[in-house]
Structure formats: C-alpha cells, structure tokens
Structure 1
Amino acid sequence: MQHAAEKQPLGGSDAGAVQAFASTLRGKLIDPSDDGYESARKVYNAMIDRRPRLIAKVADVADVISCVNFGREQNLRIAIRGGGHNAGGLGVCDDGLVIDLSSINYVYVDPAKKTVRCGGGTTWAAVDHATHPFGLAVPSGIISTTGVGGLTLGGGMGHLTRQCGLTIDNLLSVEMVLADGRVVTASAGEHADLFWAVRGGGGNFGVVTSFLFKAHPIHTVYGGPMFWALEETAEMMRWYRKFITTAPNTITGFFALLTVPAGPPFPEALHNQKVCGIVWCYTGPLKQAEKVFRPIRAFKTPILDFVGPIPFPALQGMFDQVFPTGLQWYWKADFVRELSDEAIALHILHGSKMPTWQSTMHLYPINGAAAKVKNSATPWGYRDAVWAQVMVGVDPDPANKEKLITWARDYFNALHPYSAGGAYVNFMMEEGDDRIRATYGKNYARLAKIKKRYDPKNLFRVNQNIKPAAK
C-alpha cells in the first residue's frame, strides 16, 4: 500500500506552485532541466544514483522552513543533505525534494566557555580549522570531509571517543525545523525528549540547522598509523584486544586491514601491499608519549611507523585524499563486544581478499569515556560494546560494484554471528526495519513515541527510519 506522502510528485502542470515556492527562497532551487542538476544530485557515494524532482540549496533557516512546508503540503518525499558523506546515500531521493544544507556553513568558537556552534551544512574540517587556534577540539570522526550533521545525529565516533566520549556526548543543544514548520531549540532543559532522540536517532525528527558542542583542550596529539605485515595479523589482533580494553582513556587506536597506497609518503617497497595496522591518537602529555608507546613498539616492530606529534586537524585530515568524493562504496557493519580467536581467523580469511586497494576493514574502539554513559541515556544502545566494526568495499570504477558488494557481504555474514547484534547507523546502507530495530534495541520504542509526537506522518523518512508509534 502506498503511503499518502509517497504520491507522485509535482508534474509540469504544477509549475506555478514550484515557481511560487522558489520565490520564497534566498537560496537556489534546481530541477532536472537546470544545467547544474547533474552535479547537484551527486553524493559522496557514487554507488547511489538518484534523481530528485527538486534540489533546494538553502541559504538560511527561513529557506529550510519554506522547504519543509512545501514538501509537506505537496506530499513530496524529503531528503535532508548536510555537508558531507552519508554511507547509504540517504541525503538524496528519487522524485522528491532534497534540502541541501551545505550553504549553512559557519563555525563560532567561544574559547571562554569552550563551546562551538556550527551550521547544519558544516564539515568537520571547518570545525577543526576554527577550533585549533584556540587549542580546542570537538570529538568527531576520522575523515575531515565528513559532515557535522550526519555524523552527530548518528552518534559520532573517531579519534577522541575513548578520551572524550561520542560526539553526541558533547552535544549541548540543537536548533531544528520540525515537520510542521516550527523552529525549536532542543537541549537538556528545553524539549528534552527531542534532545534525547536526536543524539543518535538520526534525521528522523526534523532538519537540524545548528549544533552547539562542548569542546576539549586538545591541540597537538601524538598519533598516526603503524603497519605490520599481513602475516602478523593474528598476533597483532590478539595483542590489540587486550591492550585497548585496559589502556588509559588518553590513548585510542583503531585496528585496520588495508592496502598501502602506491604513492608518497609511503615507502615504495610497501606500495600495494596488504597489511594490518593501527591508527593511534594519544592526547596525554607529549613529554610522556614516547614512554607510553615504548611497549607498543617493543611488542613487535612495525614495518611502517608514522606515529609522532601531529596537530589534531592534520590527523583528522590524514585520509581525506585516500577517500575523495565520487567513489563507489558499499558498507556493512556491526557492534562487537569480544574479538575471539575464531573471529580473528575469519578477519584474516576475508581481509586478505580485499578486492581493491581502497577497500578496508576497521575496528573502532568505543569503550573508555563513551562506555561510562548508560545505554538508556541516548539512543545509542551499545555502550557495552568494545568496538564498532565496519568493512567497506571501495573503488572508483562502477564496473567493480558487484565485486565490492559481494566481498563486504561475505565478510559481514561470516563475522555477524560473533557480533553484538546492531550496528552504527552511519555505517549502514538501507538494510530494512529489523536491522534498524536491532541497532536501537530497547531504545527503539521510546524513539518511536517521540517520532509520533514530532513527526506523526513520518515526513522525514529518507533515513534509517524510525516509524511513529501506533499508539
């Protein structure tokens, strides 16, 4: 049965309505007849190929209000696009209206209060650039071209998770446009139920036009990648699973299976070699860093060691050029509580078959500070997990699409029995309602009730969708 809000969108006879809508915007409204349409509809993941009816490159909050009202009144499917990635391509839709927030891009740092406010279309590169001169940082991901909005609303994990918690643990408030066109601020003291929901519930509850974060005194860290030969993966994984579960919160490192890029700064002898690695980030006193890393280096000498003092924004942007926009991506993910010997053997079996040099597997530690928060405190329901695991097939050539998908699915299916059940929503493609429910677990019912209150007709459903509660 077709949802009422999934009727065929505006046709040629509705040109007057579109023209009237366009006149309300300070930003630009793009349709398939415009020269810029093809570039405007493209997203970070080139495996996603969707053709929206309209793309609104909004200039401000007033534009967002107009878009939401127009989409609701015209029964249009609405997709919300921030400033960055979105693994599943959920920032664009077929036949509907895309609200593109990329022009709402600003950062304001209050060094006295140690807070950062930024627009809904901002990238983390912009945040890092603005905060670094003040010796501050906001916990985010590991690639600086990622958008603030998508990463935050899904939870947010990266180099500072063990030190400072998830991004949502450092979110103080949001300004957002609701399905009925109202603008509200959600925080611990205002619309507290909505504030709870957006800290991990994705874009289900409205269009977030600004974020206010708590920042931390972080400037230069001790970090970077260490690589070991692929044949040493089992030994390194066994060492790593013990180390990262007992290490102080000032140090984090995500484990990876990857292929060494064929170019500088990597030694030519390692080019295109499949390896295992750990990308480190230590935020303790720099004068103690060498001592902290001495036993790490002593356990097994890496074949490549690029770890040392580095400005935090440089660490954040270290992999941007490896993963530019426009690649084919296919993601599969799980939360993991234990890394058993059986699981390690499967990682080696499938990781050694990475189909392209950009394909990879990461195990992100989400213990430490992030684990001190209760599962019910935010929608992120896996605070007791130790890692967020992801395997991604990546390549620029569309001809390799099926090869990427098959490898990632086979890898995922082999490891899924050893997982905690759900997955990080920002690492999920469109995988169905059961998978979404598994990801939110006991928090799903509460999310569904809040969804009913703020978006009862499920206007915002181009996402990892939480359906409004029936009662």
Structure 2
Amino acid sequence: METLQIKGTILTPSLGDAYVAALKRNSYLSILRAASIVQPADVADITPVLAYAAAQTSPTQVAVKGGGAHSSTWASSDGGIVIDLFKLNKVALSEDKNSISVQGGALWEDVYKITSQAKVEVVGAPLWFVGVGGFTLGGGYGPLSGEHGLAIDNLLSATVVLADGRVVKTSATEEPDLFWAIRGGGGQFGIVVEFVFKVHPYAGPFTGGLLVYPIADKSDLRKVIDEWKKTQTSAERFTMHFSRPPPDFKPCVIIFPSTLHDVDGARARRSFAPFLELSAGRAQLPFRTVPDFHAVSHAADKALEHAPRRLVIRGTMFSDFYPELLGAVWDKWVDFTEGNPDVRASAVLWDLTVPDRIADIKPGETALKTRMPHYWIAIQGRSTTDESVDACREFTSDVVQFVRAKNAELSGQDLGWFLNMCQGDEKPEDVFGENLPRLRAVKATYDPGDVFNKGVSIEPLV
C-alpha cells in the first residue's frame, strides 16, 4: 500500500499519533481500526487506491469518510482501507452567485464561511461539523428546507469516482440514472468528490431562542406544537428535545424555535409567543439574533461540548405529532433515563420544519423514498460507560420501531426508515421502498462488484 504513487498521505498503525488522529469520529462507537487510511490530495489519488483494493486475492474492504459525524461505522473499516476525503474540502462560489461547488470532504462549516461572506444561502445541515457528502446523499433535511426543499432537490450536478476508477460527471443530462440514484440512495454507487448546489438569496438575519421547562402533564407536548403551527410559516423552524439538563437532571422539554428574515425581531416575537405563554413564568426565552448561517450552525456547540461521545443515533419519519405518539415516546425516554445515570444524557429530538416543499418533488423523481409531507425524529443514545452502550443501542432501536409502527397505525402510512439515521442493519426495502429495484439496476451498472457496500447495502441486480 505504501508503494502507491499518490500525492496524498497514507497512514498505517505504525505511524502512531497521526494514525490515531485520523481514526477520530464524532461517536466513539464509529471507530474501527483500518489497515490503511488514505488521505487523497487530489481526485487522481483515489483511482490507484481502488485498483489496489480490487487487486488483492480477497478484495480489500473500502470505506469512505467525509465528515465522520454519523454514529454508525459506515466511514470506518475493520482491517480495510479508509479513503478519508478531508483534504478535498475546497468550496467555490460561481461568479454569478447562482451555484456553489463543494468538494466531497468539506464540512458545512467550510461552505457556510463562503456563503456568509457572500450573503447567500445553500440548503445544508443545522450543525457545522456535519460532512457535506453523507448529509446530501441521504437526502439532506436542513433548516432551510421549509423554503427550498432538501439538499438533493438543490443539487445541480456531481462528480463521482466509480469503482473501476473512472471519474464521471453526473447531472440531469449526464449519466442521469447515476444522478437519480445519488439523490437519496446514499454512497453505494461511487465516491462523490464534488457537489454543485443551487444558491439562494440571503435568508437572514436569524433569530433563535431556547426554552427549558419541566413537563407536568404530557398534554402540554401537543399544546406547544398546536400553538406553534398557528403561526408557523416556511420561514420558521422548531425543534423539541426531551432532555435532562444539569444540575438537577429532571425530565424536561427543551424548545429551540428559530426564524429567518427577522430584520426587526417582529417575526421572532410573534412565533415565540406560544412558548412564553406555555412556560407560565417557569423559564425565560432569551432572544439572540445573528447575521449569518455560519453563526447559526455553531449554536449547539456549548451544549455538545460535554455530551458523552459513546453515541448511537437512530431516526425515522412520521406524519404528524399525534398525542399518542408524543406521550408514548416521552414515557419510554423517561423510563430509560430514570434508573441509570450512565445513560441520562440520552435524548429525543423532534424536528418541525414546514414539510410542504419536500412534497414538491414527486415520488420516484429521486431515489429518496418518502415524498409526502412528513417530519423526522432522532433518538440519541448516549452513554458515559462501555457497559451501558448495549442498553443505548436497544433503546434507540426500540423507540424508532415503535414510532414507525405507531405512525403507520395512526396515519395509515408506513414511512420506513430515515437513511441518514440508519445503522446498517435495516432492510433496504424499508429504506428505499419502490425505488429499490431501480437502485439495484443502477448499482449493477456503476458498481457491479459491490465495492461500495458500507451502510444500507444495495445489492447489484443480477
């Protein structure tokens, strides 16, 4: 491996600290010890690495790391090769400011620095440390999705390194089947080394707040959402967390409402009013207005700074905030976090972004399965000890299965699984639905040897 003639860096366990640093992921549970970590300096470095892996008597497993924020092991390999794209992180805004090109190893931090300086926007992740690649290939639900849809709905083209080493450009007119597949089909078809996104006008200033209060009656959960929906537009977003904040670690609801286009603060005052009324003086809601999305993406830094890093996340979609669904998840979360202090940092996040724009794209137009209006939930199992990791895994699995089944019962719609919050043991038909046969056909064309099989695996059509 070390004899490959590439411009980038090849790290092996013998290199000590540099190798260990390259293993780092957002979750300790995502780390596997690779035989080699390759950090390409340019796109041309990737082809010989793929050729080397394929030439071995038993083909070497290849994993691709973008941001490393996912809580699964998809960006890691036990004894294989990790292609770590972090050096391929260039971002370039077009002269007319209508599009932006982003290399596959960039974080959203890299993108927001450029868009904030130029006073333009792109549909991206809510957190700065999330990788552009994984976020986008799974769909890309972001804070601007209420106005502009998902990240994949704003993707204009991409450059992909295929399993055979060829580098192709894909768009609606070039390699259109591949373009269809990477918009919601994940990283199963090649290594996306560049994305070109549509750019939108400035959406700021942005006003956000935080409200923490204990829940005495589960009916309050639905009340706050009903009130929020009365004033919410595509310019407002709301996330609700079930969490036990220190120092008392009592079960609380934490509300994070935020607004776009809030020039004079009037929008925030109107949309935040329901939360102030519900709190009944139990907590205050501080307003904070920031000028750009770069600042918004750092809003959770302090809260995450001391969060346990033994993290497993699962998530799914749901049709509406049914009282039976909210109350049952609350009970499950309270019961799990009550008796074991090792796991009391575990949390549940509900996202309420107006979903209408998601449904602007018809089912089947992209590989993303679910296109009717819906919301998403993330179950975060966090443990301070190795001994409680299995309990966190069981908790997250139990809750998402419950949410999926209960939502199907209440709405009549089985929305399946949320790819970006899967762990890899999910059935592909539950993730991709009716799109799976076409995805298998595309896989057979672009990766017939199933080189890129990390994640929710799509078998090539025989």
1:248-327 to 2 correspondences below 5 Å: 248-260=233-245, 272-287=249-264, 288-293=266-271, 295-297=273-275, 299-301=277-279, 303-311=283-291, 312-323=293-304, 327=309
Any gaps of 5 or more consecutive residues in structure 2? 338-342, 408-413
CA contact (8 A) 2:211 2:285 kept: yes
Partners of 2:190 and 2:228 in 1: CA distance: 41
Report what 1:441 is aligned to.
433
Task: Look up the equivalent residue of 2:304 and give its one-letter code.
Answer: F
Which segment drifts farther, 65-74 or 117-126?
A: 65-74
- The alignment covers a number of residue pairs equal to 441
The aligned residue for residue 38 of structure 1 is 20
- The yes-or-no answer on 1:236 pairing with 2:213 is no
**Residue 385 of structure 1: CA displacement?**
4.2
Amino acid at match of 2:450: N
CA contact (8 A) 2:308 2:382 kept: no
Match of 2:386 among 370, 378, 398: 398
**Quick one: distance in 2 between partners of 1:134 and 1:292?**
29
Query: Corresponding residue for 1:89?
Result: 73
Deviations 1:10-35 (A, max 9, x none): xxxxxxxx2432xx111111122221
Q: Is the 8 A contact 1:159 1:253 kept in 2?
A: no
Q: Is the 8 A contact 1:159 1:281 kept in 2?
A: no
Aligned to 2:444: 452
Q: Could you say which residue in structure 2 is the equivalent of 1:145?
A: 129
Over the matched positions of the two proteins, sequence identity in percent amounts to 25
1:422 aligns with 2:422: no
Is 1:99 paired with 2:83? yes
Corresponding position of 2:340: none
Q: Which residue of 1 aligns with 2:356?
A: 368
- Output the CA distance in 2 between the equivalents of 1:224 and 1:461: 41
Secondary structure (helix, strand or coil) at the match of 1:466 reads coil
Match of 1:108 in 2: 92
What TM-score, normalized by structure 1, do the two folds share? 0.87
Change (3 A) 1:354 1:139: farther
Q: Is the alpha carbon distance of 1:150 and 1:369 closer, same or farther for their aligned partners in structure 2, counting shifts above 3 Å?
A: same
Once the two structures are overlaid, the 10-residue window that deviates more, 39-48 or 290-299, is 290-299
Per-residue CA deviation, residues 278-317 of structure 1 (Å, 9 max, x unaligned), is 3223223433414532643464137241344223222211
2:205 pairs with 1:220: yes
Moved more, 295-304 or 48-57: 295-304
Would you say the 8 A contact 1:354–1:360 is kept in 2?
no
Secondary structure in 1 matching 2:187: helix
User: Quick check: 47-56 or 316-325, which moved more?
Assistant: 316-325
Equivalent residue, structure 2, for 1:5: none
The answer to whether the 8 Å contact 2:317/2:404 transfers is no
Range with greater deviation from structure 2 (397-406 or 87-96): 397-406
TM-score using structure 2 length: 0.89
Q: Letter of the aligned partner of 1:344 in structure 2?
A: L
Q: How large is the RMSD of aligned CA atoms in angstroms? A: 2.3
- 1:59-102: per-residue Cα shift (whole Å, max 9, x none)? 11011122222222221111011123122120011121110001
Q: 1:150 to 1:305 in 2, by over 3 A?
A: same
Q: CA separation in 1, counterparts of 2:274 and 2:294?
A: 24
How far did residue 463 of structure 1 move? Answer: 2.1
Per mean C-alpha deviation after superposition, the further-off stretch among 165-174 and 320-329 is: 320-329
What is the distance in 1 between the residues matched to 2:227 and 2:360?
19
- Residues 405-463 of structure 1 show CA distances to partners (whole Å, capped at 9, x for unaligned) of 2332333343331133412211111214x2x2111111111111111111111111012
Q: In structure 2, do the counterparts of structure 1 residues 272 and 326 end up closer, same or farther at CA, with 3 Å as the change threshold?
A: closer
In 1, Cα distance between the equivalents of 2:458 and 2:226?
34
CA distance in 2, matches of 1:100, 1:381: 28
Helix, strand or coil at the partner of 1:40: helix
Describe the shift of the 1:28–1:284 C-alpha distance in structure 2 as closer, same or farther (beyond 3 A): same
Query: 1:48: how far off?
Result: 3.0
Q: 1:380 aligns with which of 352, 358, 368?
A: 368
Q: How many angstroms apart in 2 are the aligned matches of 1:52 and 1:390?
A: 29
